[in-house]
Amino acid sequence: MRRIFAALVMIGLAGAAPLGCGRVVEGVLTAAPAFLIGESQEIAIGLQGAREIVAETPIYPDPRLAGYVQRLGARVAATTERADLPWTFTVLRSDEPDAFALPGGYVFLTTGMIKRMRDEAELVGVLSHEIGHITSRHALELIRQAAVAQGLTEAVIGQDSGATALLANVVTTLVLRGYGRSKEIEADQLGARYAAGLGFDPQALGDMLTRLELESGGAPAWLAPLSTHPTLDERLSALNTTIATLGGGGGGGGTGGTGTRTPSSRGDGQAFAAATASLR
């Protein structure tokens, strides 16, 4: 974390005397106790990070799949408290099953993840989980935690493009390392709520998590096998508790759950099959 946070120092973030509360005043970011980044800056950071991602991992060249994922993701995002972000959902060409979110509304998932999905509800579940990270500003919280750990309390960023680029690099690095136990569980719970609100089976996310673990014989990449990350059992338990409050049944996340499932709750089978045909 010290090595990563050194990049923040490089872009001119100077420590100052501790302040009693976080605030943003004319481009000054205050990190103690709340590291706040304005929405326009958050979007700029996410956009720069997104550009870096696609420069390293190619976008999957299928406009039908791209449009389908964008429409589904936008449909979920429109129901959230941050509906007016410039939501962008991008499919990357990679066999590794993965999905992640950058601040400002930028969501990525790989072809390897989509190949392992069985229906539209599972795609919505994964997208909703990643949307939950953004609506909760989890990436910005990682930066706040890093700032406070280093004793940084105040930083001038403003609209400097070089600062934004380097901060985006730091945020992307932190995001790809994972959000940690409580934030992954919170994103699962938000994802279940968002999916259920649109009539999709909220158990679908648990189904996907379970399948990925069974396939890998342990914790797959998306579960980030680090000590700070929740186990699958922890995630399913928290997810099922949330589903119960939504009127669902809970259960094993695809291994015999007792929630009520109707054909429509798993989404549009024809649309899913048509959109993902190039991956089959």
SS3 164: helix
**Burial classification of residue 162, based on how many CB atoms lie within 10 Å of its CB (0-12 exposed, 13-18 middle, 19 or more buried):** exposed
User: Which tokens sit at 249?
Assistant: 């049944």
Q: What's residue 25's pLDDT?
A: 31
∠ CA 8-175-236, rounded to 5°: 150
Q: What's residue 223's pLDDT?
A: 57
User: Which tokens sit at 194?
Assistant: 């968002």
DSSP assignments along 15-28, one per residue: -----SS--EETTE
SS3 252: coil
Q: Buried (b) or exposed (e) across 253-278, using 16+ Cβ within 10 A?
A: bbeebebeeeeebbbeeeebeebbee
- Which is nearest to 262 in space by CA: 80, 79, 121? 121
Averages of pLDDT over each 10 residues, the chain, 280 residues = 38 30 33 59 89 93 98 98 97 94 95 97 97 92 67 48 65 72 90 95 92 74 54 84 73 38 75 96
Q: What's residue 280's pLDDT?
A: 86
